[in-house]
Structure 1
Amino acid sequence: MGTGRCDQEATVPEPSSTAANGAPRSLAEALRARDDAGLAALLHARPDLLSPVPGDVTQLATRAGTRASVVRALDRLDRFALQTAEALAVAPDPCPYGVLESLLAGTGEAATDNGTRTALPRALATLRDQALVWGGDDRLRLVRTARELLAPSASRPSPTGLGPTVAEATAGMSPTRIQEIVAAAGLPATHDPVSAVAALTGLFTDPERMAALLDQAPPEARHVLDRLVWGPPYGEVTANPAPPVRWLRDRGLLLPATTRTVVLPREVALHLRGGLAHRTPEPAAPRVAVRHEHRPQLVDAGAAGQALAALATVEELVKSWEHSGPPVLRAGGLSVRDLKRTAAALDADEPTAAFWIELAYAAGLLAADGEVDERYGPTPAFDGWRELPPAERWSALAGAWLPATRTAGAVGEQDPKGRTLAALGPGLDRSAAPEVRRRVLELLAALPEGASPDPQSLLDRLSWERPVRGTSELRARLAGQTLTEAELLGVTGRGALSAPGRALLEHRDPAQPLAPLLPEPVDRILLQADLTAVAPGPLARPLADVLAVLADVESKGGATVYRFTPGSVRRALDGGHTASDLHAFLAEHSATPVPQPLSYLVDDVARRHGRLRVGAASSYVRCDDDALLGEILADKRSAPLGLRRLAPTVLAAQADPVALLDGLRAMGYAPAAESHTGDVLVARADARRTPARARPVPVPEGPPLPDETLLAAAVRAIRAGDLAATAVRKEPAAAAAGGGGGAGAAASGELPRTSAAETLATVQAAALTGSVVWIGYVNAEGAASQRVIAPVRVEGGFVTGYDHTADEVRTFALHRITGVAELADDQV
């Protein structure tokens, strides 16, 4: 019984017509023979087949043979499984297991013993599990779409380097020319081109006769064959080729592809290769080599230091955008100028700065404010994150990094339209990134504890696992970025996986192994006479907050050095601190006596602070000391501010208050902003926050992996739909009398057609006898389906029964049932 689909691999044979030896004759039949676990494994390996859930096994087989689905399945094969599929694509169809084994392991002197024969059953099982290969070992068949994708052609060379067969290369060649080749090869003449091509094919596949023919070839002809044997199989020739090329062409060892191109037939190449489809079969995954071995304690200590540095860098980054964050580009993202400015502030290169920016964004600490003049700034979540213990803060960052699809390494690249990708902008999602990050960490975890890998061997391993061109190159770039980012973040230390990184990989809380590795926060600093302070470790939160305002960071490392300047002290006074507050703070937290120069600096800046007051007129300056105002007016640097005297103690300005404050501070004064009531305005460090924003959602690579519940339900639905599609129905009475199309519908797989009276009578009888019937049903959306139901009750224009297709009790409207048929006795 055919389904009407164009792909013969999805054909459903008549239930009574099975192969004599029980072997499947189509992909659908092979899938139907699987148990539920086998179908579930297929749907788990290829989740795109579940969108939507196939109605029956025939639909599943058809969908599994579509080009998009097959390409996606081939992309996820390892190198040897892909080499096996490529060998099947150049093998006869169907292909016996022995022929496939010889294509991968070679024959005669070229036979290899590198584990190919041992690994072939595993590779073949992988292809079968993913419905790329079906049939028994004596008749292996590659899905037609996969064969079309992998078989060699003039426009798409095969990775095997093989060319077309003799039959393919001679298609369209004149019968006279074919007979000339047959004669030159020493074969008897034939009566038709088909037998002539078969004779040539038999010659080229006979090792003894081929060896005898090649022994007659000139030495230069063998050199020509050696250049083409491993591909590409095409070569250019002139109108009057050299004698060696002419000798090969006359005997069919080279066949014309175009007027200026010849091709090496596949059978000839396989003889010269010793039967190998690939020059180097790779049955085993490359081993990840160890570059260095370290004591695990050193690895964890190094990772803990990197974790502390990461926390400090992210906090510094977000706080630097608190007051006036960078603007959002019209197309989205951060401008190159702002990225460079941020990199300079973080004392990092631009790629590293882009990583920290994207990490803070992924963790929900940064976002755009959504205003008309849109800018980036901290989110409310940043305040909660700062209050967490250091280990939990790092856990939040690492937990955001591992599943993120946005990749900072793509910043600076160009999109398909030639536009440069910007940090925080669109186009940075790489769906494969989470899977590659996790796989890299898994390979690191498989090494001895404390061992760092050789990067090239790691890339070779990843390339073996996903060898498809394009996919492999992207994964290599993502793997290199993963190693760099993991070291920056502290997931690895000295190149080896750390204890917190291992916990992150194993879905455990990484804060627990990290917390004992981090030093306790200190609440003491070392003040020095050169107006610097040394923090001997991570500072307690209150101390760090005040010191960040009172001093500027001069250098970072194991100990952070802060420098006190007039500007930094003025910043603390602007924040609402008084001179006495600052003296008390320094005395309380200094492990040494407060140096006299620092005390003088605080007193001197405090004495001058606030003598000038700036408010909004546009803006004004007032001061009790009119001489000071005269000094400002006389200074040429005040000209851009547009100052003029309104009263002995008041100056009006054309600049706005913020610009006026900045201008006066640049001239060396210490003005303070005031409100309309004359009170000093205190600048709060946490004054600006964006509205609450959700974290960026990762872009998944293809459909999500189904869980066990969905797989079980999908398999039940497919089995039930298959029962409805393949169940044998009794011929309705009207059809048996020659008056209806019910039997025709049953034979063709179409929905049954019966009159309303016949439908009602049949379902009522089934409800009374408890029998099962086959119905055609059209739902409210107009979608038609076939169902096998066991009616329980018929009343009010509805029939209620157990729907074997949906595996639940349902109610059907009688007027939507197109027809009904009883199942054959052996189907009940």
Structure 2
Amino acid sequence: MSDAPRTLAEDLRGRGDDAVATLLRLRPDLLNPVPNDLTQLATRAGTRASVVRALERLDRFALQTAEALAVAPDPCPYETLLALLGGDEGIPEVTEALPGAVDALRASALVWGGDDRLHLVRTARDLLAPTPTSPSATGLGPTVTEATAGMSPGRLQELLAAAGLPATHDPVSAVAALTALFRDRTRMSALLAEAPEGTATVLSKLMWGPPYGEVRAEGASAPVRWLLARGVLLPAGPGNVVLPREAALHLRGGLAHRTPEPHPPAVQPGATHAIATVDATAAGQAFTAVRTVEDLLKSWDAGGPPVLRAGGMSVRDLKRTAVALDVGEPIAAFWLETAYAAGLLASDGEADERYAPTPAYDEWLRLPDEERWAALVAAWLPATRTPGLVGGRDAKGRALSALGPELDRSLAPEVRRRVLALLASLPEGASAKPEALLARLRWERPLRGGADALRAQLVHWTLEEAELLGVTGRGALSAHGRALQGRTEAATDAQTAAAEAAGLLAPLLPEPLDHVLLQADLTAVAPGPLRAPLAETLGVLADVESKGGATVYRFTPDSVRRALDAGRTADELHAFLAAHSRTPVPQPLTYLVDDVARRHGRLRVGAASAYVRCDDDSLLAEILADRRAAGLGLRRLAPTVLAAQSPPDVLLERLRSMGFAPAAESAAGDVLITRPDAYRTPPRSASLPVPEGPPVPDETLLGAAVKAIRAGDRAATAVRKPVPRPAGARLPRTTSADTLAAVQAAVLAGEALWIGYVNADGAASQRVVEPVRVEGGFVTAFDHTADEVRTFALHRITGVAELAEPAGAGDEPA
């Protein structure tokens, strides 16, 4: 009797724990929920959805191997499979790579059995084998047996006679004779040598697929008639013919695929730059990335744009953001999505919902530049949200908006990770063309239809986004970008890798400065990045005029008044400028500060609706006489007080537009300090990636799952002594007295029992247990199914049976 496994479950039963753990790691969908035993695991591994997912994870050569098995006899010897992939003459590369491909299919439980009897799981065969409506990737058609099904015995005898074969007594032997002819290279070559001119042209159109052809209505040509007469072409419906699989393989020289691809295409280096240039370029862009996100969210300090009813930002608001950042709309969408992924930006959740920075943004601002960059990259690496889709349409024709729903694509993190890994495999300073990267990804994971089109877009977007973030410089991976490799599949891994990369980036970033260069034209030049306190104060005191390698600030009456409104005094402003300027403070700037400070607060605006107060009654008379104040509803209450019909904020704005410098005051008469209040959302967590299927289990979970499956399989397959039970019952049935006696005897003998048990919810199960103690109506026993000690109520045990052989806790299943 052969020891070869008869089913996938038997094959899995013969594998070690490491092999089962590898299967669960490769196909994590099989683990939820944990299978009860190996039979259930095998059944689940053969379901259509799981097999489709497993096939999509194969590389091209492993998939070609599975496709060859789908058109091979079942079971298929290894030599037959090698002939299908290497042809009659053999291909050394295929011979070298095929064992690895078979091992990969076996590890994924898509193939089982020894090399002498390879079985492709039935579901995979159904998916990959050719059908009239869905030819396989091999381009092969049906076998002679399948193509002649339903053909009359007389017609079969005619085919044999025309092919020069002896007549047979039944259709089965006739089909077998015809099949043997097509598989015999010598006899088939001799038969085709007799074909009329033009036959080779007809066959060349069908042999690599599709194998179906159409016969003209006015009648078949002489070559087609000759081929049909001998069964080299067979009818496939009205006006159609098909080239049988065996005949096609002869014409192909035994090859199942026109071009076997046992090895991945190499990614050739493109333009190469000095690594110092690459690192400097990437570091400069990393610094720009941090400043861009900071500027974006600073502009939303008092609240950002509203959230659309369907979610996301409007097109108009995206355009305004792009103009404010001086970038294109696709790049603006990328920065928005990156900030959102990092948890720096969210909606406030109020009735009039709008976007605003989160409290995490304030913490992010306090970090060094390299750590701020690391936070952005750690969010980008595993993110499934895809900014490149913004502006496109979903399946229902609806526009896809920035920060809106429907932007998650589970393929994005995998493409991002592989593109960076391939760049890391190139020599330092070398870039790669997107087409070469895409060709490699297509070999590593063949995808079909829209998924492949999306992957092509993701490759281009990844290269662009990596350059924007400073992960690459001039298309080549930087030194800090290489530190991101190897641990980018999970969010926590990405954070760790980004932190290490930040350590390499830090020395390349410019050192923050504590000074500016004041100029006589009322501007200040910051020759580099400024320290946070200096940049914050200068941003209030002056307006940013231009950015670049150096930032230019301009001082205006409005900007100086803004600083005075924020509570600064003229003396404090003079001291600040003198302390942080490497050049003498220009006299025009000193005069500007003093002039604005002298006029600042002479007028006082309060709530009446509003009032204006001033010690200089002539100044109030000037305001009353100004025609521009006609709409404010002003009237004099006292020589130094005017009442107004307008609110205080409107009154303040109008008087400032008239050239005055009023200050707001409180009900107690004190000047109000008007610092801009930063608007923040409630605490929000960063958006979570949407994974493609279940996550890969960790080693702890894998170990526990394998133990549970082995224990359940032990309970399900253990050899038991016969026990009386009603017909059709799954669980053993014994009386209460017999159950108690058997359990007590097992405690004394230290033996294992097979029990049936019904829990409090009424769920029945069968278990192999080793009773340890019996008392108070309960049995304490080691449960091999759960691999732990449990307590069972005696009244819930339906029955017991002794095992044919002792089953110790350490035994391994057969």
Match of 1:201 among 164, 179, 183: 179
Distance (whole Å) between structure 2 residues aligned to residue 184 and residue 371 of structure 1: 84
- The answer to which of 77-86 and 813-822 deviates more is 813-822
Distance (whole Å) between structure 1 residues aligned to residue 372 and residue 622 of structure 2: 49
| Aligned residue number for residue 779 of structure 1 | 759
Distance (whole Å) between structure 2 residues aligned to residue 157 and residue 367 of structure 1: 49
Match of 2:632 among 620, 639, 643: 643
| Aligned residue number for residue 57 of structure 1 | 38
Distance (whole Å) between structure 1 residues aligned to residue 664 and residue 175 of structure 2: 97
> Which residue identity is paired with 1:144?
R
Q: Does residue 150 of structure 1 match 2:114?
A: no
- The answer to which of 234-243 and 494-503 deviates more is 234-243
Match of 1:626 among 608, 611, 620: 620
CA 1:819/1:658 → structure 2, altered by over 3 Å: closer, same or farther? farther
CA RMSD of aligned residues (A): 2.5
Cα deviation digits, residues 621-644 of structure 1 (max 9, x gap): 677633553465x34xx89xx532
Distance (whole Å) between structure 2 residues aligned to residue 462 and residue 717 of structure 1: 37
Cα deviation digits, residues 30-84 of structure 1 (max 9, x gap): 1000011111111111111111111111011111111111111111111111111
Shift of 1:337: 1.0
Q: Does residue 797 of structure 1 match 2:777?
A: yes
| Aligned residue number for residue 753 of structure 1 | 733
Distance (whole Å) between structure 2 residues aligned to residue 679 and residue 253 of structure 1: 104
**Equivalent residues of 1:76, 1:466 under 8 A apart:** yes
**Equivalent residues of 1:421, 1:428 under 8 A apart:** yes
Gaps of 5+ in 2: 487-495, 809-814
**Equivalent residues of 2:752, 2:807 under 8 A apart:** no
Q: Does residue 227 of structure 1 match 2:205?
A: yes
| Aligned residue number for residue 435 of structure 1 | 414
**Equivalent residues of 1:753, 1:818 under 8 A apart:** yes
Q: Does residue 820 of structure 1 match 2:800?
A: yes
| Aligned residue number for residue 256 of structure 2 | 277
Q: Does residue 32 of structure 1 match 2:13?
A: yes
TM-score by length of 2: 0.91
- The secondary structure found in structure 2 opposite 1:344 is helix
Distance (whole Å) between structure 2 residues aligned to residue 360 and residue 36 of structure 1: 44
Distance (whole Å) between structure 1 residues aligned to residue 576 and residue 254 of structure 2: 84
Distance (whole Å) between structure 1 residues aligned to residue 213 and residue 589 of structure 2: 83
- The secondary structure found in structure 2 opposite 1:213 is helix
| Aligned residue number for residue 701 of structure 1 | 692
Shift of 1:609: 4.6
Q: Which residues in structure 2 correspond to 1:671-690 (within 5 Å)?
A: 672-690=663-681
CA 1:546/1:796 → structure 2, altered by over 3 Å: closer, same or farther? same
| Aligned residue number for residue 276 of structure 2 | 297
- The answer to which of 253-262 and 335-344 deviates more is 253-262
Distance (whole Å) between structure 2 residues aligned to residue 727 and residue 465 of structure 1: 42
| Aligned residue number for residue 7 of structure 1 | none
Q: Does residue 522 of structure 1 match 2:513?
A: yes
Shift of 1:334: 1.3
**Equivalent residues of 1:774, 1:821 under 8 A apart:** yes
> Which residue identity is paired with 1:531?
L
Q: Does residue 66 of structure 1 match 2:44?
A: no
- The answer to which of 788-797 and 776-785 deviates more is 776-785
Distance (whole Å) between structure 1 residues aligned to residue 621 and residue 602 of structure 2: 12
- The answer to which of 602-611 and 433-442 deviates more is 602-611
**Equivalent residues of 1:75, 1:471 under 8 A apart:** no
Cα deviation digits, residues 699-728 of structure 1 (max 9, x gap): 222212222221111111111111111111
Q: Does residue 171 of structure 1 match 2:171?
A: no
Shift of 1:525: 1.3
| Aligned residue number for residue 4 of structure 1 | none
Cα deviation digits, residues 462-497 of structure 1 (max 9, x gap): 111111215444333323222211111111222222
| Aligned residue number for residue 549 of structure 1 | 540
Distance (whole Å) between structure 1 residues aligned to residue 661 and residue 198 of structure 2: 91
CA 1:695/1:432 → structure 2, altered by over 3 Å: closer, same or farther? same
**Equivalent residues of 2:28, 2:697 under 8 A apart:** yes
Distance (whole Å) between structure 1 residues aligned to residue 205 and residue 613 of structure 2: 90
Distance (whole Å) between structure 2 residues aligned to residue 608 and residue 261 of structure 1: 96
Match of 2:97 among 105, 108, 119: 119
CA 1:529/1:139 → structure 2, altered by over 3 Å: closer, same or farther? same
**Equivalent residues of 2:130, 2:140 under 8 A apart:** yes
- The secondary structure found in structure 1 opposite 2:241 is strand
**Equivalent residues of 2:58, 2:445 under 8 A apart:** yes
Q: Which residues in structure 2 correspond to 1:214-613 (within 5 Å)?
A: 214-243=192-221, 244-469=223-448, 470-505=450-485, 507-508=496-497, 509-606=500-597, 609-610=600-601
- The answer to which of 22-31 and 264-273 deviates more is 264-273
| Aligned residue number for residue 117 of structure 2 | 139
Shift of 1:239: 2.6
Distance (whole Å) between structure 1 residues aligned to residue 296 and residue 275 of structure 2: 31
Distance (whole Å) between structure 2 residues aligned to residue 153 and residue 399 of structure 1: 47
Shift of 1:827: 5.7
> Which residue identity is paired with 1:37?
D
**Equivalent residues of 2:752, 2:806 under 8 A apart:** no
| Aligned residue number for residue 92 of structure 1 | 73
Percentage identity across paired residues of the two chains:
70
**Equivalent residues of 2:304, 2:356 under 8 A apart:** yes
> Which residue identity is paired with 2:746?
A
Cα deviation digits, residues 502-554 of structure 1 (max 9, x gap): 22335452222122112211111122333332211110111111122233333
- The answer to which of 20-29 and 582-591 deviates more is 582-591
| Aligned residue number for residue 137 of structure 2 | 159
Shift of 1:298: 1.9
- The answer to which of 126-135 and 514-523 deviates more is 514-523
**Equivalent residues of 1:521, 1:538 under 8 A apart:** yes
Shift of 1:247: 3.4
Distance (whole Å) between structure 2 residues aligned to residue 62 and residue 605 of structure 1: 83
| Aligned residue number for residue 812 of structure 2 | none
What is the aligned residue count? 789
> Which residue identity is paired with 1:387?
R
Cα deviation digits, residues 757-810 of structure 1 (max 9, x gap): 322222222222221110111222232221111112222221111111111111
Cα deviation digits, residues 274-315 of structure 1 (max 9, x gap): 111111111112222111222222222112111111111111
> Which residue identity is paired with 2:52?
V
Distance (whole Å) between structure 1 residues aligned to residue 622 and residue 194 of structure 2: 109
Distance (whole Å) between structure 1 residues aligned to residue 658 and residue 759 of structure 2: 81
Shift of 1:341: 0.7
Shift of 1:125: 0.4
Gaps of 5+ in 1: 1-19
CA 1:103/1:337 → structure 2, altered by over 3 Å: closer, same or farther? same
CA 1:363/1:247 → structure 2, altered by over 3 Å: closer, same or farther? same
Distance (whole Å) between structure 1 residues aligned to residue 14 and residue 279 of structure 2: 52
**Equivalent residues of 2:160, 2:230 under 8 A apart:** yes
Shift of 1:461: 1.3
> Which residue identity is paired with 1:439?
R
CA 1:661/1:463 → structure 2, altered by over 3 Å: closer, same or farther? farther
Shift of 1:103: 1.1
**Equivalent residues of 1:367, 1:693 under 8 A apart:** yes
Shift of 1:348: 0.9
Distance (whole Å) between structure 2 residues aligned to residue 535 and residue 292 of structure 1: 35
| Aligned residue number for residue 76 of structure 1 | 57
Shift of 1:413: 2.8
Shift of 1:399: 1.8
Cα deviation digits, residues 577-616 of structure 1 (max 9, x gap): 3444333322322222233444444445445555665555
CA 1:616/1:537 → structure 2, altered by over 3 Å: closer, same or farther? same
> Which residue identity is paired with 2:78?
Y
CA 1:181/1:671 → structure 2, altered by over 3 Å: closer, same or farther? farther
